[in-house]
């Protein structure tokens, strides 16, 4: 991540503001999710207008950076690969808990940076689980950004409209979707502003991880204090029930079957 001082907020861009956020909002909090650190970093750098994170240096903790865009403060929380097939439930909940504290009092938008050629049913289920850990409302606050397939995998190129699991996730997020190829900042900011306005400027509240006694960490820091065993266990049970209920009752992912409850 950048070596700037934790609270160093610089005006990265000064243009005629087109009001991408409601005038009463002075800060926009974004969470980056996905299994490619390089792509997530590129999105963060696009938004903040300069290299805030190095694509080749993936951290194993959630990290936060701030900047000013269109006279508004933007807080970016970049996460580790929470869609990794071998990540444990304990570690997943711990990362989400850290992300919640870094985005206190809650994120406004989740940026889901996905790769069409790699996105599988397993990724779809894990992504739903991660979003459910935050809140049932996370899907209403999500924007999907799909990357361009890598050249070395060109023979396996698959567009979003050909990948059923990815199509299902796009549908869950009410078709909020942009392609990263040739994406420019004004278009991205406009879509972010639309999501914020659709949700009346409200952020996602994550009650299960709230800890009133804990102070908010400074920028570029990761939260090292883990959840207690009790809170991790309770959160794990809660997310399992919420995720199964969401996927089953609303039948939102026709191509992705919900996992069977563990015995």
pLDDT at position 130: 94
Percent of the chain past pLDDT 70, that is, above it, reads: 63
Distance from C-alpha of 74 to C-alpha of 85, rounded to nearest angstrom: 31
Burial of residue 60 (CB within 10 Å: 0-12, 13-18, 19+) is exposed
Pseudo-torsion of CA 9, 71, 114, 53, nearest 10°?
-20
Instruction: Return the pLDDT at 115.
Output: 92
Confidence class for position 59, pLDDT limits 50, 70, 90: confident
Backbone angles phi, psi at 65, to 5 degrees: -145, 150
Is the pLDDT at 107 greater than 70? The verdict is yes
Question: What are the tens digits of pLDDT across the range 122-161?
Answer: 999 999 999 999 999 999 999 999 987 665 444 445 555 6
pLDDT at 148: 77
Q: Quote the pLDDT of residue 263.
A: 42
Q: Picking from 89-98, 109-118, 252-261, which range would have the lowest pLDDT averaged per residue? A: 252-261
Per residue in 7-42, pLDDT tens?
444 444 434 444 788 888 999 999 999 989 889 999
User: Which range is least confidently modeled, 75-79, 87-91, 112-116, 241-245?
Assistant: 241-245
- Per residue in 181-191, pLDDT (tens digit) is 999 999 999 99
- Maximum mean pLDDT: which of 16-20, 56-60, 103-107: 103-107
Residue bearing the bigger pLDDT, 4 or 47: 47
Q: Predicted confidence band at 2 (pLDDT cuts at 50, 70, 90)?
A: very low
The stretch 157-175 carries a mean pLDDT of 82
pLDDT at 228: 33
Of 87, 238, 83, nearest to 166 (Cα)? Answer: 83
Amino acid 70: pLDDT:
85
- Look at strands 63-69 and 72-78 and give their pairing: antiparallel
CATH classification for the domain delimited by 27-206+218-249, as one of 3.40.50.410, 3.20.10.10, 3.90.1150.10, 3.40.50.300 = 3.40.50.300
DSSP string, 174-217: TT-EEESTT--HHHHHHHHHHHHHHTTTPPPP-GGG--TTSPPP
What distance in Å separates the CA atoms of residue 108 and residue 69, rounded to the nearest whole number?
15
Peptide bond into 105 cis (omega under 30): yes
């Amino acid at each position: 991540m950048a070596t700037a001082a934790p609270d160093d907020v610089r005006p990265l861009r000064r243009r005629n503001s087109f009001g991408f956020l409601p005038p009463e909002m002075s800060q926009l909090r974004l969470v980056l999710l996905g299994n490619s650190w390089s792509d997530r970093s590129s999105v963060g750098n696009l938004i903040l207008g300069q290299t805030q994170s190095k694509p080749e240096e993936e951290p194993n903790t959630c990290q936060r950076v701030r900047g000013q865009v269109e006279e508004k403060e933007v807080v970016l929380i970049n996460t580790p690969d929470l869609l990794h097939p071998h990540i444990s439930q304990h570690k997943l909940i711990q990362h989400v808990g850290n992300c919640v504290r870094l985005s206190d009092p809650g994120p406004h938008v989740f940026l889901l940076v996905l790769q069409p050629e790699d996105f599988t049913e397993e990724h779809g289920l894990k992504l739903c689980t991660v979003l459910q850990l935050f809140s049932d409302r996370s899907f209403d606050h999500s924007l999907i950004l799909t990357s361009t397939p890598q050249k070395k995998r060109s023979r396996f190129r698959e567009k979003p409209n050909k990948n059923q699991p990815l199509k299902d996730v796009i549908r869950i997020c009410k078709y909020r979707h942009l392609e990263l190829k040739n994406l420019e900042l004004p278009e991205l900011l406009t879509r972010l502003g639309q999501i914020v306005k659709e949700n009346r400027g409200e952020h996602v509240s994550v009650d299960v991880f709230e800890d009133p006694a804990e102070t908010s960490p400074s920028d570029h820091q990761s939260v090292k204090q883990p959840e207690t065993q009790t809170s991790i266990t309770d959160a794990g049970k809660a997310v399992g029930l919420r995720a199964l209920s969401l996927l089953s009752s609303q039948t939102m992912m026709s191509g992705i079957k919900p996992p069977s409850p563990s015995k």
